[in-house]
Each structure stands twice: as structure tokens, then as C-alpha cells.
Homo-oligomer: A and B are copies of this chain.
């Protein structure tokens, strides 16, 4: 018996009570379908943890013409799939998880039989094109596995994936006219003109390589692919739907559209024809690369050398089991477990790995780089994820979080803008939302000691970013101490976010002993006070002359100086200085009243109409859980004399905003931020101000949890007297020691041990 095995057994014994959980298949609790209806913007398809490929069905993103202009439901179809739709147009390889803006949807594949149709047709008349009707009764959506019957063609579609390879398995009826359509003009955010260039090269009767360049949210994005079929096609071809062909010329001597090994241009749909026997399975391995066609081919060879669909699926689900097992829980009900592990699943989709198997990736400078000593990630929705997702990663994915920061620092080094990422994706910066919150993630990683990168160099990148004159009114912010109303439609929220970000930089500077910058940025972090109007008690836009805006409505989200929030919510957004904020806003009692009112005031419809990204159910009074600026608010009671209201409110939100159904998310998952909020809150604590090592305690939903840390230690969270009614916490013990305050530190978690909450139904 090896020593390591012995150790394992000892560890297993020491957690004997967890035997049942140890053996539990956690993948069974993952329901990718959650959030696919309405606002969740999640996708139901196959992906492995942080995988480059997200292979998922598309129900409708096809633009349609209205009065000569093209319209596309670019918001509704952020993830390509809406649960209420009745047809599937195919299966594409790239998706964001839960975003409020859209892009991707690369390389749509659709199997059909019968007459070859190369347009998708309409949802109203599916037979007019290649799309197919489907039903949720034949649909299976698991972690890294998706299955559905395409009813129009009697084809069973199955999908699984590895990090860089989508694996399709289509079970055909017997026919001489089986087709695999490769739609190269399909896009999420599917406007005419998005296709910049498409290149497809047929290498032999079962192998195809190529690339696609698009302009969309990512302005200049190229994805390369390699595609192999498990059986040879008998013929192939394409059709171009482009209306702008400046030169056709001598190509006229060829029939380019059939069996011609180079297919190029704009807006192409290719097809591959087969003859199939009954239950003939045509499998497709479809590898992606951010670098080259050769890179895609090597990714395929490395990750899926064979053709065994079941074994690829099994490996993918084992990978999920491994990640999910990082937190094992016992809950009051199975539905909580489903919410929890689906949240874990959603938290582990984005950011995604963005490099070839050999470490090569394309930088934002459009050059090829090699990630040395780290895994390169992309898809940083930092305005969302700096709040709870990255802090969660510091606990249960510290290696990945460290790699993500290194990816951000590489981005900085390669950036034409000398900026850390804002919302970056596929070697592009789309500038979505506000702030320079990468500094929060970086400071958090350093403060929590998970960094292998050079903290001083990282500080320099943070400062260059925070001082960058080309970015969103930074010059004015530095000049006036706030962003003047006339400069920006988000002058107040951006000022508040900059103030928080500056505080993060100050913490980082302090940590590395840079007093000069600590002093500079700790001063800047107080700028939040410059946009508070004590005469009305709210944050409020102010012009260069220092005059607050007239005719101001603190309930209005639109046009009042804020983004995704109103003055009500943003007046509570000083995560780094709750004490100062409470004092500024009148002290303990008035502040408690303010919070109470937030959760109870009914928001009239005229305001709700301007509240983005959520359903009506996503509102709790005037509190908008679906929008991130509010995510810390429930925990602010901890800084008042009534922390029990945090406990009560958190449990209420956990129950009201997260369900097991397809409509189970009240707002966009926002690449895992909504899910990270759930995970933290279900465990009983939350990072109100990333960049500090402090977590505010709430009210755990779990009965018990075991956090398996990368340092080999475990944090056990136990509750006593846990029930649906017992949402209040009478006392908390950390390793047998009573906590005097409702806060714990990162080291309390990472040193391992036991955190016990005594639950009660009275506060």
C-alpha cells in the first residue's frame, strides 16, 4: 500500500459522516436548463469546466426585416436558446453564460434529411427551412451532455465536449439524402454585416478546416476550426448569401459551389451529404482554436483522438464531478441542492480557457503569444464578476483565479490602450459597463495571498489603467474628484465605482509597501462623497460648477446618471467604506430605515420599464437582485445595530430569486456572478468589499458544507437547528470560539477548520 493511499484513507475516515456525500454523484444536481427561460440567459448545451467550447442548441437568433431594416432579438437570445421556443436551428460551439449582451454562436451545425434546404426558415413555418421542431419531452440537458430529438427529420442529436472540442453524435434514419449543414453565417447578435470573412478548406472526404472572422461585440474576432466526420461525405458544397461580391471574375470557370475544396467569402452555408443506414450514427469532432487551423487540428488530436462518444461524455462529467466536489453540502431539500450545484456549474463556465493545447493564444494586439507558466483565460465580465465570482475563486479555485489575473496582466501588456480588461473576450475589448474592476480582482488575489504573479508589476498595471486619459472620463474624474454630469450619462455610478476601484488599488499599494500610491488612491477612494447630495440624501449627478442636477428622480434608472440601477440602490454602493457611508447618510437608525424601505417600497411600473435585465419577479421592493450593484446590499445590515435583517433578507433572496425551473433565475446569470452570490450566501458569508480579506456573515441555507481547499485543508460549515423557518443566527463559532462580530476573514477559511452557525426562528 502506498503512503498516499494510506493518507487518503485516513482523511476519508476523519470525514466519516460524509461517506454518503463522498459517494454522491453531484452531476445529477446540475440542471443546465435552469435560467434558459426569459432573463437567465444561460444555455442548456454541453461544456466542461471553463471549457473553450460551449456546444449548445440555438432556437432562434435569425434577424428579420422590418420596413427594410434588419431586426434581431439580440438581447433575448444572448445564449442562443430560449426555453419557450418550439424549433431548433442547429447546434453552435460558443456561448456566453448568462450575459446581458450577446455575441458568439460560432459554427452552427444542423443535421437534416430529405430535400437540402440552406435557409433556416421561420419559427412560424419551420418547414420553410432547415430548422426542426423539438419537444422538451425528448430533451436531456446534463453537465456536458445534451440530447434532443429533431422531430422534422427523426434524427436524435447528442452533444458532449472537451475543453476545445465539440463532439456531435447524430442518429439518422435510413436515407440517401442525409445532410450535415455547417452554417457559417449563423451568429448570436446576428446582424447582416457581422460576417467579416469565412474560409473553409476541405482536406479530404471527412476533414474540413477553416476560420471565421466576425465583427460584433468583439470587434475583430477570428475563430479557427478543424472538423472531422466519422464517415466520409459523398459530396459537399455551399451557398453564399452575400449580396456584395465585388469580384467573381475568373472563378466563373469553376463550379465553386459544389465539391470545390476552398469555400470562401461572406455569409456562407456549407453542406455535406451522406447516405445513411437505419440508426446510422454520424459523429463529428469539431475543434476550435484562437490561433490557427493547425492549432485546431492539434487540439482535436490531443483531446479527442478517437470516436467514442460515451467516453468523452464520461470524462466531461467526471471533470464536473471533480469541480463540484470542491464544495459538498447537505441541505434541507433536494431542490436546494439543485440550485446550489447548478450555481456551481454556472460559476465554472466563464471565464473560459483561451489558448491552444500548446499554450498559444491570440492577444488583443492581434499577435500570437504563448502563455508561459499560466493558463490563459478570456471572457472577463468584470463589472459583474469582481463582486463575488472572483472572490469565490480565491477560495475554491485559487490556482485558476491566479491564472485569470495573469491573463489580465498579459492583456494589459498586449493592449493597444494600456488598459487592464474591462469586458474582454476573444482578444477583444468591448468596453461593456463601467469602472476598471480588474484592479479589484487583482488586489483581492494579492490581499488573499493567492498570487504567484509580481504584485508590484500588477500594481503598476492597475495605476496605469486608473490614470489612463483615453478611458471613460478618467481625466475629468481626476480633475474634479467626480465625473461631471455633462460628461457622461453614468456620471454618478462611474464615480462611485472608480472610488471603490481606487480603494482596491490603495490596498494593493499598501500590501506591497508603496506608500505614495497608497496615499494617492486612498484619497481618491473617498470621492464617493463628492456625488452625495445631503439635501436629498441620495447620490446625485453634479455638474462642473458643483451644482446638482435639477428635477432629479431617485427612483428612475434611466438617464439620471447611473447604469443598471437608480439613486436608491447606488446610494448604498460604497462597498469599501460602509462605516463612512452610514455616517454620511445619517447614522445607524436612518440607515436601517433606508435599507428596510429599499426592500419594501413597490417600484411603480413606469420605473420598472427602465430596469434592465430582470423580470418583475426579480424585484424585491425597489431592490433589484438581477442587477449587480445591489448584490452587497443585504449584507449592509451587518454594519448596523440589526444584523439579523441581513440574515432574514439573504434567506428571503435565496428562496425567492433562485428556483429549479427553466425560469429559475430572476435575472441574467452574468457569467456566474448571480450564481456566485447564491453559493456564498448559501454557505453563510459574502465578500462585500473584494480587496479586503473580510466576509460578512449572513444566514446559511445549507445544513452542512465541506469546502475542499487546494491547500489540502477543509472548511466545514455546520448549522445547528437548521430549517426553513430558522433563518436567524443566534451565535457563530469558529473552531469552537465564539465570533464577536458577524465577519470572518479569508484566513479563517483557508486555514481550514469548522464554522458552526446556531440557527433560530427568532431574532
Contacts and interface: CB of A to CB of B under 8 A. Distances in A.
Interface stretch (A254-262, A440-448, A733-741): A254-262
A587 B215 CA distance: 66
Interface stretch (A30-38, A195-203, A525-533, A596-604): A195-203
A215 B261 CA distance: 18
A217 interface: yes
Residue with the greatest number of chain B CB neighbours at <10 A, chosen from A202, A251, A366, A432: A366
A249 B99 CA distance: 15
Interface string A275-299: 0000000000000000011100000
Interface in A63-118: 101
A517 to B, nearest CB: 25
A245 B472 CA distance: 22
Nearest to A261: B416
Interface size class of A (residues with CB under 8 A): 35 or more
Task: Name the 5 nearest CB pairs between A and B, nearest first.
Answer: A191-B246, A193-B244, A250-B431, A262-B416, A193-B246
A471 B244 CA distance: 26
9 contacts: A191-B246, A191-B247, A219-B265, A249-B431, A250-B432, A253-B431, A253-B488, A262-B417, A292-B367
Contact of A197 (B189, B196, B201): B196
Given A201-B416, A202-B416, A259-B470, 20 more contacts: A101-B249, A194-B246, A197-B213, A197-B215, A197-B220, A199-B220, A201-B365, A216-B247, A217-B247, A217-B249, A220-B264, A249-B432, A250-B423, A250-B430, A250-B431, A250-B432, A254-B431, A254-B470, A261-B470, A294-B367
Given A253-B472, A261-B417, A262-B416, A246 B367 contact: no
A661 interface: no
Contacts of A253: 431, 472, 488
Contacts of A197: 196-197, 213, 215, 220
A416 B262 CA distance: 6
A319 interface: no
Nearest to A220: B264
Interface string A556-592: 0000000000000000000000000000000000000
A416 to B, nearest CB: 4
A223 B367 CA distance: 14
B260 A192 contact: no
Interface in A178-214: 189, 191-194, 196-197, 199, 201-202, 211, 213
A75 to B, nearest CB: 12
Contacts of A370: none
Interface in A213-243: 213, 215-217, 219-220
A433 interface: yes
Interface in A154-195: 189, 191-194
Q: How many copies does the complex hold?
A: 2
Contact of A219 (B254, B264, B294, B488): B264
A423 B471 CA distance: 48
A78 to B, nearest CB: 14
A253 B196 CA distance: 24
A366 B366 CA distance: 16
A247 B189 contact: yes
A644 B99 CA distance: 83
Contacts of A262: 416-417
A265 B254 CA distance: 32
Contacts of A423: 250
Nearest to A365: B201
Contact of A193 (B201, B215, B245, B470): B245
A248 B216 CA distance: 8
A366 B199 contact: yes
Nearest to A489: B253
Nearest to A294: B367
Contact of A244 (B192, B254, B293): B192
A201 to B, nearest CB: 5
Contact of A196 (B194, B196, B251, B488): B196
Nearest to A218: B247
A259 B211 CA distance: 32
Interface string A442-478: 0000000000000000000000000000111000000
Interface string A357-384: 0000000011100000000000000000
Interface in A487-523: 488
A201 B417 CA distance: 10
Contacts of A191: 246-247
A612 B216 CA distance: 44
Nearest to A193: B244
Given A196-B197, A261-B416, A431 B472 contact: no
Contacts of A246: 189, 191-194, 215-216
Contacts of A194: 246-247
Contacts of A217: 247, 249
A263 to B, nearest CB: 10
Nearest to A72: B246
A471 B253 CA distance: 8
Nearest to A243: B193
B367 A249 contact: no
A416 B261 CA distance: 6
B293 A367 contact: yes
Residue with the greatest number of chain B CB neighbours at <10 A, chosen from A249, A250, A365: A250
Contacts of A211: 366
A432 B294 CA distance: 29
Residue with the greatest number of chain B CB neighbours at <10 A, chosen from A251, A423, A433: A251
A258 to B, nearest CB: 10
Interface string A404-427: 000000000000110000010000
Nearest to A219: B264
Contacts of A366: 199, 211, 293
Contacts of A101: 249
Contacts of A244: 192-193
Contacts of A216: 246-247
A253 B253 CA distance: 49
A418 B294 CA distance: 19
Contacts of A471: 254
Contacts of A488: 253
Contacts of A249: 101, 217, 430-432
Nearest to A224: B366
Given A196-B197, A220-B197, A365-B201, A431 B293 contact: no
A639 to B, nearest CB: 33
